[in-house]
Amino acid sequence: MLVSFLSALRHICSNMYRSFKMVLILVLNMSLVDGISPAVGCGYLWYEFNGSCYRMYQRSNTFEEARSFCQNDGADLVVIANEEENQFLKELFYLQEDLQSPETIWHAFIGLTDMAKEGTHVWVDGTPLSYSNWVAGDPNDSDGTNDIVEIVGPYIPSNYGRWVDSSTIKTSETYICERKYRQKTGITVSE
């Protein structure tokens, strides 16, 4: 009698424990998805890295047009703070699901210019240049109008991820937008 009671109790407890574990796993998974899923946090076709959302576009635009296009999405051309972020952008050429033939891309605009003062590069958010990753010999303002900057794409493996200055009047086929990550609540995560 007692034995069967105890065995029944153990059975009930173990079932309760299993249900509790299931709920726990469910809750943990949900919060994990909330935290890292690009679909939830950054929106469709935007990719999250360290508090920002990124999207690479293939559209034929000048630097200023590309900036406006990013700004329409509450973003701007990408500001690159460190090597980790630059490394992420190299990966973005392949992460970005809607890109056509990433291996054929030469360059993409980033949010860096020396338009205001020749030779003094400033990020579009006003940050002065600290981390940089220039191609050897760049920036060289080679034709006197090279005041915008591009990151080299996979097409040129030897310089992939490095930066070149390019002509301000150039139209690029590719560029990268960045905006701060916002949680579902609409609260902006502070830096």
Ligand X SMILES: *[C@@H]1O[C@H](CO)[C@@H](O)[C@H](O)[C@H]1NC(C)=O
Write out the residues near ligand X by the rule CB under 6 A: 50-51, 82, 84-85, 135, 137-138, 140, 142, 164, 191
* Shortest Å distance, C-beta 185 to Ca ion: 22
- With CB cut-offs between 5 and 8 Å by kind, which of ligand X, Ca ion, none does residue 48 bind? none
Count Cα neighbours of 61 within 13 Å in the Cβ-side half-sphere: 20
Decide if residue 114 touches Ca ion (CB under 5 A): yes
- With CB cut-offs between 5 and 8 Å by kind, which of Ca ion, ligand X, none does residue 137 bind? ligand X
Stretch of 8-16, 18-26, 40-48, 74-82 lying at the interface with Ca ion (CB under 5 A): 74-82
**For residues 156 and 105, what is the distance between their CA atoms, to the nearest angstrom?**
8
- With CB cut-offs between 5 and 8 Å by kind, which of Ca ion, ligand X, none does residue 141 bind? Ca ion
Count Cα neighbours of 189 within 13 Å in the Cβ-side half-sphere: 15
- Of 52 and 96, CB closest to ligand X: 52
Tokens of 135: 């191609």
Residue spans of beta strands (DSSP E) within the chain: 47-49, 52-62, 76-77, 107-113, 122-123, 148-152, 163-166, 171-180
Element (H, E) at 34: helix 2-36
- Which residues bind to Ca ion, rule: CB under 5 A? 79, 114, 141, 146-147
